[in-house]
């Protein structure tokens, strides 16, 4: 959001009242945006005060830091916190790694048509919602006679008994990562392709003259060109690691809570699946999440400024 300050300097000669009057049309145009943002973003911020209240049904009374004490003492909360970090970070690293690998090798494809064609296909799953992707894989991985994957594996003689992929704690995370790789890797390559299209062909020619092989060119020209973008992608996503909700929510179930429950799903369950929820407690958990998220955002903004001289916000 930088630049063009010169224009502001020029007009500073005029009195403020006149400048406001001249821009009255713009203020009117901003009004709907202002009201909208106020209602859906700022109004809820007032609700943060409930973190310090007990809020059950219509009974609201002050409890001070009680909720935070309970939260830090709850085993469930720490499991959710740990899972959030593991799931988000492993997912981020795997998806980025796979996207970089695909971009580098797809970049080597000599036929432009094939390249475009493959790109079109691998972008597809991104436009399916998590709910749909989860529905597809839940059906495919089902243990009943309708589960395609178990039935196929059985008919090939690879397994004797159906495996309940989504209900076995040791299986759940790997399956989650694979499903996410299937859905998002292709789309993750978009940003790397934008960078690759900017690499000067002269670099490749120079490497060729120096006798570099195809793999050497990929290693010493393509990969270094991507390194900055890789760091940026990691930084940008670091700020959002705690926000993960829908991808987990649509795939988890009560038999795998200990490996799949994340903070947002924990908040959801404590609020909407409890007979008499204490909105105060779940607000407190949400506040903790927002605070950590805010710190991460500022950190990654700082890191982004260091790496590319420009913040992310």
Partner 1 sequence: MAEKDTKEIQTSEKEGIISDAVEKTAKAVEKEDKRSTPKINMVGDKKPSKIKLFDIVNYLVFILLALIIIIPIWKVVSDSFNEVGVYQFKLWPTKPTIGGYATIFTTTRLYRPFLNSVITTVVGTLVGLLMATLGGYVLNQYDMPGRSAFSYFLLFTMIFSGGMIPEYLVMKQLHLTDNMWILVVKHGMNVYNLVLMKNFFEGIPASLYEAAKLDGCSPMQIFYKIVLPLSKAALASIGLMFAVTVWNDYSTVQIYITNPDQVNFQYKLRVMIMDGDTPTTAYKVSQSTLYYAGIVCAILPFMAAYPFLQKYFVTGVNVGAVKE
- Binding to partner 1 (CB under 8 A): which residues in 89-118? 102, 105-106, 108-110, 112, 114, 117-118
Footprint of partner 1 on 198-217 (CB under 8 A) = 198-202, 204-205, 208, 213-215
Residues in contact with partner 1, shown as a per-residue x/- string from 222 to 241 under the rule CB under 8 A: -----------x--------
- Shortest distance, position 304 Cβ to partner 1, whole Å: 10
User: Does 64 engage in binding with partner 1 (CB under 8 A)?
Assistant: no
What's the CA gap between 306 and 308, in Å, rounded?
6
- Structure tokens, 3: 């630049």
User: Does 174 engage in binding with partner 1 (CB under 8 A)?
Assistant: no
- What's the alpha-carbon Rg for the chain, to the nearest Å? 25
User: Does 252 engage in binding with partner 1 (CB under 8 A)?
Assistant: no
| Tokens 């006798």 belong to residue | 211
Asked if 141 and 166 touch (Cβ cutoff 8 Å), the reply is yes
Q: Maximum CA pair distance of the chain?
A: 84
Stretch that binds partner 1, among 10-18, 59-67, 78-86, 157-165 (CB under 8 A): 10-18
User: Does 147 engage in binding with partner 1 (CB under 8 A)?
Assistant: yes
Footprint of partner 1 on 11-30 (CB under 8 A) = 11, 16, 19-20, 23, 25-27, 29-30
Stretch that binds partner 1, among 32-40, 62-70, 72-80, 89-97 (CB under 8 A): 32-40
What's the CA gap between 209 and 204, in Å, rounded?
9
Alpha helices by DSSP H, listed for the chain, are 5-11, 16-22, 24-37, 43-46, 66-73, 75-107, 112-123, 130-141, 148-155, 169-196, 201-209, 214-217, 223-238, 246-249, 257-260, 263-272, 279-308
Footprint of partner 1 on 294-313 (CB under 8 A) = 294, 297-298, 308, 312-313
3-class SS of residue 135? helix
Q: Which of 194, 206, 223, 299 binds partner 1 (CB under 8 A)?
A: 194
Stretch that binds partner 1, among 62-70, 80-88, 121-129, 169-177 (CB under 8 A): 121-129
């Amino acid at each position: 959001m930088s630049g063009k300050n010169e224009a502001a300097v020029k007009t500073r000669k005029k009195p403020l009242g006149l400048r406001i009057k001249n821009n009255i049309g713009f203020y009117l145009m901003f009004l709907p945006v202002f009201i909208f943002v106020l209602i859906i973003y700022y109004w809820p911020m007032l609700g943060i005060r409930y973190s310090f209240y007990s809020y059950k049904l219509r009974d609201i009374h002050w409890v001070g830091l009680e909720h935070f004490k309970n939260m830090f003492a709850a085993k469930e909360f720490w499991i959710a916190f740990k899972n959030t970090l593991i799931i988000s970070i492993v997912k981020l690293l795997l998806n980025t790694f796979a996207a970089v690998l695909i971009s580098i090798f797809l970049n080597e494809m000599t036929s432009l048509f094939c390249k475009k064609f493959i790109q079109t296909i691998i972008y597809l799953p991104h436009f399916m919602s998590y709910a749909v992707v989860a529905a597809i894989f839940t059906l495919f991985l089902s243990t009943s006679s309708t589960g395609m994957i178990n039935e196929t594996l059985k008919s090939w003689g690879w397994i004797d008994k159906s495996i309940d992929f989504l209900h076995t704690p040791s299986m759940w995370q790997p399956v989650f990562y694979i499903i996410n790789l299937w859905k998002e890797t292709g789309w993750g390559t978009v940003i790397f392709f934008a960078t690759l299209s900017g690499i000067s062909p002269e670099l490749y020619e120079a490497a060729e003259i120096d006798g570099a092989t195809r793999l050497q060119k990929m290693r010493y020209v393509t990969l270094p060109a991507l390194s900055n973008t890789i760091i940026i992608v990691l930084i940008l996503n670091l700020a959002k690691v705690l926000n993960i909700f829908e991808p987990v929510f649509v795939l988890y179930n009560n038999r795998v809570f200990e490996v799949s429950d994340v903070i947002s799903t924990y908040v959801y369950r404590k609020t909407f699946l409890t007979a008499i929820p204490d909105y105060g407690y779940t607000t407190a958990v949400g506040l903790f999440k927002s605070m950590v998220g805010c710190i991460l955002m500022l950190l990654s903004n700082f890191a982004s400024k260091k790496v590319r001289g420009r913040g992310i916000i």
